[in-house]
Amino acid sequence: MGFPELKNDLYLRALLKQDTDTTPVWIMRQAGRYLPEYRETRAQAGDFLTLCKTPDLACEVTLQPLRRFELDAAILFSDILTVPDAMDLGLYFSTGEGPRFERPVRSQGDIDKLFVPDPNDTLRYVMDAVTLIRHELGGKVPLIGFSGSPWTLATYMIEGGGSKDYHHCKGMLYSNPQALHQVLDITTQAVVAYVNAQIEAGAQAVMIFDTWGGALSPEAYKEFSLRYMQRIVEQVHREYDGETIPITLFTKGGGQWIELIADTGCNGVGLDWTISIDEARSRVGEKVALQGNLDPNVLYASPEIIRQHVKTLIDKFGPHNGHVFNLGHGIHQTVDPDHLKVLVDAVHEFGAAIRQG
């Protein structure tokens, strides 16, 4: 497709555990409500789904944080629920309640109606956004594509929205595990097709967000979340157009299970802030790169304190290959953007310093 040549490959190199001059950094939800320019574009779109479904606008908000901060990767602006939306479950956003589905998946009849959407048909708007962003990036940094994990998508599909106690999906898990496996199987097929289409459209790395895997017991995590992420790792393009495509898995609340995650064969493991990165490195650092893991609330502190926390985290990881700096979860909407600039610059400063000894 004649994409511009990549100038900054720090993020890709770190995920492949290759040498880098400094520690690369990107921020989950870096295109988000803490940026006034994002709020303006969103207002222009009218609503969140229109913003996701309009490639020009999705491209604009994807690029916004890169104009302010020396980030080492861009991530496609989209929603994790685009796939179940394309399965005709009727995604909508109700004020104050977050995402909802008009037609939640509860009965065998509901399950029988599920299908693998053609990512180049109903999800064409995502692929158009990916290709547009990749061109507009001009090779500045790589573009990350993403999807929710099958388990995480299934929680929304079955509950019909967010949930505190997972009544319906865990009810299915314990009462009728075969039914849940059917949901997860078809969702996994859909995610694989979706992620592969993103790669074919221009994504240079992929990330799977298992936001609700940490709500499971260890046995249920293995059977209902990890097993399907394993299939994704095995079935998505790991090379495309002559380039290696690194894949990162992130189970929020999964600190107890990072050995299992690393064993899937993924390149990177995302960490939330409830695990020390030095402990994580000693447990799985020979196998995988690690992404994370500052508490997003550190960004409410002063620039000086932010710099201290960045330095401590980089020192804990040590002068090794394989660290992608990030927060342990998405940036909060009430953070001062200037504080993020302090963080990003500090990562590069201390990341370079530790490599120079």
Which residues are annotated as catalytic? 29, 33, 42, 79, 156
- Given the rule CB under 8 A, which of 23-31, 54-62, 208-216, 338-346 is the region that contacts its own copies? 208-216
The rounded distance, in Å, linking the Cα atoms of 175 and 161 is 20
Does 171 interact with its own copies (rule: CB under 8 A)? yes
**Long-range CB contacts for residues 297-306, cutoff 8 Å, separation at least 24:** 297/332, 298/343, 299/327, 299/331, 299/332, 299/335, 299/336, 299/339, 299/340, 299/343, 300/335, 300/339, 301/339, 303/339, 303/342, 306/339, 306/342, 306/343, 306/346
Determine the Cα angle at 237 with ends 234 and 243, to 5°: 130
Minimum CB–partner distance for residue 256 and its own copies (Å): 5
Please report where in the chains the tokens 């388990």 appear, as a residue: 151
129 CB-near residues (< 8 Å, 6+ apart): 55, 58, 59, 62, 76, 77, 78
Does 166 interact with its own copies (rule: CB under 8 A)? yes
Does 296 interact with its own copies (rule: CB under 8 A)? yes
Site for its own copies in 269-288 (CB under 8 A): 273-276, 279
CB-nearer residue toward its own copies: 94 or 334 = 334
Given candidates 241, 256, 265, 319, which one binds its own copies under the rule CB under 8 A? Answer: 256
Structural contact between residues 24 and 11, judged by C-beta atoms closer than 8 angstroms: yes
x/- track of binding to its own copies for residues 63-102 (CB under 8 A): ----------------------------------------
User: Which one, of 238, 178, 177, lies nearest residue 16 by Cα?
Assistant: 238
Does 217 interact with its own copies (rule: CB under 8 A)? yes
- Given the rule CB under 8 A, which of 85-93, 117-125, 231-239, 249-257 is the region that contacts its own copies? 249-257
Site for its own copies in 319-348 (CB under 8 A): 332, 334
Does 107 interact with its own copies (rule: CB under 8 A)? no
Does 303 interact with its own copies (rule: CB under 8 A)? no
Which residues of the chain form contacts with its own copies (CB under 8 A)?
Answer: 165-167, 170-171, 173-175, 214-220, 253, 255-256, 273-276, 279, 295-298, 300-302, 305, 309, 332, 334
